[in-house]
Amino acid sequence: MTSWSKPTASYSRLVALFVAGGALLAPRTATPQAAHSGPRNVAESALPSVVTLRIYDADGAQLGLGSGFFLEDGRIATNRHVVEGASWVEVYDHEGELLGTAPYAEAISSHVDLAVLPALGEEHAPGLPLASEPPRVGETVWVIGSPEGLTGSVSSGVVSARRTQGDQTLLQISAPISPGSSGGPVLDASGRVVGIAASILEEGQNLNFAVPVRGLVALAGSPAGHLNFPAATGTSSTATARSSSSQLTDEDVEEMLSTAEDLAVPFITDGRLGRDDWTYDGKPVDFYRFTGRRGQVLTLAMSSSVVDTHVGIFQLGATDGEGWSRSNDDIAQGVTDSRLTVTLPSSADYLVVATSYGGSPGSYSLSVTEGQVLERSDGRWRYLITDTGETTWWWDTRSVRRTSAGYYDIWLRRDSPEPQRDQSGDLYDEVKILYRVDCRARRMDARSYIHYLDGRAGDSGDFDWTSWSNVVPGSVGEAALETACSR
């Protein structure tokens, strides 16, 4: 029988570190504050580019509202928390006219509070230019948004400070914002976007925060996707920044360890974060413990289609200061899956912690495997196999799903050593293919495809016939089948 070390006070700090995840943005209801008019040249030129967003769930009930603004390519920038829980988003101009509906997002960041919605059509108001450098402390700024639904409201102030909260940097501004302002642009004297209004500190007076524009520059430049809106985490239309004062006691940790499931490496398991789980600071947490050896290289991976995952590991019985621990909230910007590769510092007992960044419940998959798992730089595509033609295949960790008929769908990505030509003679160096997998009969059927050249999408389409093929042993198909059917 495995003998587990008695918890010490240092574990409280370790668990708090990655269960809290450094997250200082937590949902609260903000206090409305008055808006003030800004200079005519900044406000009047930018106002047509600012929109009001009304958020609706699957039943058509309005969940809330927020703000956003047009980018120069016609897409709409806003906060991630504004669109949480949405089934669709209605977009209104500054005069209250409905411009269109966004049923999905093209980019969502889990690291910073930002999202990009698709363009509504070819005709749109001028996009706001994004600043290439951060504003100076003391610089005058203006915020345009829809506080409490009052479209086209303008407030002014200064950049009070740059604040580091956890692993995020925020701009503290004195320009008042209120619920409904979230997602609105923060503009400098030239009308350039230097930040995106995000939160207020309810306990203070006129303490408002914005996400620096550099996060939006990176997100808007990432490949566009067709993403479901993130699950609701209880945030209001304007989040409130606060620090958690929750502290773990030794009794808490002892109870936590009593809920941990004993596992041996390597392991893969499916779990569910629920409100009945052990919780810290309102976040449901699952624990898994195992015995590791010094120098052992392990990769921890946690994925989910419904929660923003957060995985961590710490050593039980450590005596060096606060002990050894590691954690990860997302693989890459805009990716909600978590992965980290660690080298264990000693032969000891370890605890793996699985939770969600925002505290929302939902199902997940967790694996701890030997060695370093090879993945593409975007963190979403995991290495599958290299075929005899030296072509590398990857599988999408977020696309595997079970159909109502009992089959599995999985997207594969093929990178060719040399560009290929499609039937029209156009070059492509990468192709994504959607396969349907019949696990019981061990056969596959190609459903859709899309070609890329230098990252740009080209020819695409659906296969309009069903052509099941038996999986050949040792082939790419077998690797894909085993991956899909093991989920």
Strand stretches in 344-477, DSSP E: 348-356, 362-370, 381-386, 392-396, 401-402, 408-421, 427-438, 443-453, 456-462, 469-470
pLDDT over 60 (residue 375): no
CATH of domain 25-241: 2.40.10.120
pLDDT over 90 (residue 357): no
* Residue 232 binned pLDDT confidence (cut-offs 50, 70, 90): low
Write out the residue limits of the CATH 2.40.10.120 domain(s) in the chain: 25-241
Degrees to nearest 5, angle at CA 38 with 150 and 67: 35
Write out the residue limits of the CATH 2.40.128.710 domain(s) in the chain: 381-485
Query: What does 375-404 look like in DSSP terms, one character per residue?
Result: B-TTSSEEEEEE-TTS-EEEEETTT-EE-T
Return mean pLDDT, the chain: 77
- List all residues 6 or more positions away from 172 whose beta carbon is below 8 Å from its beta carbon: 159, 160, 161, 162, 163, 207, 208, 209
Percent of the chain clearing pLDDT 70 (strictly above): 76
CATH of domain 9-24+247-370: 2.60.120.380
Domain covering 381-485 assigned CATH 1.20.120.420 in the classification: no
Query: What does 90-101 look like in DSSP terms, one character per residue?
Result: EEE-TTS-EEEE
**pTM given for the model:** 0.44
Would you state the structure tokens that stand for residue 304, as one six-digit string?
A: 């989910």
**336 or 189, which is more confident?**
189
Residues forming a β-bridge with 67? 52
Most confident of 14-28, 269-283, 370-384: 269-283
Owner of token pair 């990716």: 335
pLDDT over 80 (residue 199): no
